[in-house]
Amino acid sequence: AQSVTQLDSQVPVFEEAPVELRCNYSSSVSVYLFWYVQYPNQGLQLLLKYLSGSTLVESINGFEAEFNKSQTSFHLRKPSVHISDTAEYFCAVSSPGGYQKVTFGTGTKLQVIP
Amino acid sequence: NAGVMQNPRHLVRRRGQEARLRCSPMKGHSHVYWYRQLPEEGLKFMVYLQKENIIDESGMPKERFSAEFPKEGPSILRIQQVVRGDSAAYFCASSRADRGDYNEQFFGPGTRLTVL
């Protein structure tokens, strides 16, 4: 069985400040890792993913996450946040194979303060 | 290419009524997944379907819930005799047929069910 832990339910941060959203996972097999973003009353959008290769992955809007196998973590970071980054962020895990049953964390609400 | 479509976006039912949630996958996608998001919680897997087949329903409540994905038409998640605890956002995702190790799931906007 797989599980994902997002310890921070809410993270307030001032605009242009850096942010880190923490994610730890548990799995007995190899993993794929994801970060999804959900804006109010909308569906989930894939922000970035780790499948294999380089442990540092980046999104087009300045977010990055690093897969750390020894610490079973996949923290999300951004050096300077914008108001438009205010949303809920979900970390998720699945495993290689044609059918990926994705397991989600409970989410972290990022609130960017002007 | 339209994304995953879900309707209705908002659904209000009284206790004991039936709720039918529809999901049209992206063009070219033959796999559908349903997830439920309870207030203040993450998404929980419910069921995975391919055309005319239920592949994995391990996350579905044993009673009152059913899902189908017919050869023609959208996938339907059906909740009979709804109770207040069924109030949640229900998300559908779709992906292509199995291709190698990774098949990205694309999510719809969700249906928000409120049971009075």
Note whether B108 contacts A: Cβ–Cβ < 8 A: yes
pLDDT at A42: 82
- SS3 string, A31-85, reads CEEEEEEECCCCCEEEEEEECCCCCEEECCCCCEEEEECCCCEEEEEECCCCHHH
- Closest by CA to A104, choosing from A19, A2, A10, A20, is A2
Note whether A40 contacts B: Cβ–Cβ < 8 A: no
Res B112 pLDDT > 60: yes
Instruction: Indicate the range of A101-105, A106-110, B7-11 predicted with least confidence.
Output: A101-105
CB pairs under 8 A between A and B: 63
Give one word for A53, left, alpha or beta, with left for phi > 0 and alpha for psi -120 to 50: left
Q: Are A43 and B108 in contact (CB under 8 A)?
A: yes
Cβ distance A51 to B109 less than 8 Å, yes or no, reads no
Report the percentage of chain B scoring pLDDT > 90. 75
Q: Which residue of A has its CA nearest to B100?
A: A98
**Model confidence at B40, in pLDDT bands (50, 70, 90)?**
confident
pLDDT at B98: 65
Note whether A70 contacts B: Cβ–Cβ < 8 A: no
pLDDT at A63: 96
> Mean pLDDT, to the nearest integer, of B10-35?
95
Q: Which residues of chain B neighbour A106 with C-beta distances below 8 Å?
A: 40-42
**Most B-contacting residue of A30, A45, A99, A109 (CB-CB within 10 A), to test interface:** A99
Distance linking the first and last C-alpha atoms of chain B: 37
> Mean pLDDT, to the nearest integer, of A58-67?
93
Give the closest-approach CA distance of A46 to chain B in angstroms: 8
Note whether B50 contacts A: Cβ–Cβ < 8 A: no
Taking only the tens place, the pLDDT of each residue in A11-43 is 999 999 999 999 999 988 888 999 999 998 788
> Mean pLDDT, to the nearest integer, of A4-13?
95
Cβ distance A99 to B101 less than 8 Å, yes or no, reads no
User: Which of the pair, B40 or B33, is modelled with greater confidence?
Assistant: B33
User: Which of the pair, B3 or B98, is modelled with greater confidence?
Assistant: B3
